[in-house]
């Protein structure tokens, strides 16, 4: 009887170990994903400088020519003028003057597309945070490097 209990316990523990290993996502440190992650971090570091300096070109360069920006409460802005149109509206109407991205995860193989998940914060001209939220960005590898292809975000404020 003790032998059956011992054997049953061993089988159950082995199955639990196997299931835990299958459920745990493997950390992907492949060179293509590492390259994409580095490019995303570099682009994110420049993004809000467009608002600090009032320079739309810094903003536009973050996006692919066929990008769509999917802001809350409005239809998607897509195409080559989408980034400029969004920047002008944000700069003049919403008036962020700085901000910060916090990337919490990057998914994908790093070959053509990757998805970035994270949080953002926007600051006014007095360096006071006036909004914050979450985002998902689908990045696309282009001849000009990694660019935002689909940018979707929402505020955590009511």
- Contacts of residue 139, defined as CB under 8 A and 6 or more positions apart, other chains included, come to 36, 39, 40, 113, 114, 115, 116, 146, 147, 148, 149
Does residue 71 register a pLDDT over 70?
A: yes
The Cα angle at residue 100 between residues 115 and 143, in degrees rounded to 5: 45
User: Which residue bears the tokens 């066929």?
Assistant: 66
Position 68 scores a pLDDT of 98
Position 14 scores a pLDDT of 44
Considering the entire predicted model, what is its pTM? 0.80
- What percentage of residues in the chain have a pLDDT greater than 90? 80
**Mean pLDDT, the chain, whole residue set:** 87
Task: Tell me which residue of 127, 153, 136, 125 sits closest to 40, measured CA to CA.
Answer: 136
**What is d(CA 61, CA 80) in angstroms, rounded to the nearest whole number?**
11
pLDDT-derived band of residue 28, with 50, 70 and 90 as boundaries? low
pLDDT-derived band of residue 158, with 50, 70 and 90 as boundaries? confident
The Cα angle at residue 101 between residues 77 and 107, in degrees rounded to 5: 80
Please compute the mean of the pLDDT values over residues 123-138 and round it to a whole number: 98
User: Which residue bears the tokens 């990045």?
Assistant: 139
CATH class (in words) of the domain with range 29-155: alpha beta
Position 151 scores a pLDDT of 98
Position 26 scores a pLDDT of 45
pLDDT-derived band of residue 2, with 50, 70 and 90 as boundaries? low
Position 53 scores a pLDDT of 98
């Amino acid at each position: 009887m003790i032998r059956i209990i011992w054997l049953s316990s061993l089988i159950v523990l082995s199955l639990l170990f196997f299931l835990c290993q299958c459920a745990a996502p493997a950390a992907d440190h492949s060179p293509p994903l590492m390259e994409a992650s580095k490019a995303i971090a570099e682009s994110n570091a420049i993004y809000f400088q467009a608002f600090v300096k009032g320079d739309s070109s810094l903003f536009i360069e973050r996006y692919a020519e066929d990008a769509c920006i999917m802001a809350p409460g409005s239809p998607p802005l897509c195409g080559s003028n989408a980034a400029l149109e969004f920047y002008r509206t944000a700069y003049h109407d919403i008036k962020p003057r700085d901000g910060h991205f916090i990337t919490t995860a990057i998914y994908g193989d790093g070959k053509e597309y990757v998805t970035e998940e994270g949080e953002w914060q926007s600051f006014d001209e007095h360096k006071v945070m006036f909004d914050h939220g979450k985002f998902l960005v689908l990045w696309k590898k282009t001849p000009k490097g990694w660019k935002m292809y689909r940018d979707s975000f929402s505020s955590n404020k009511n």
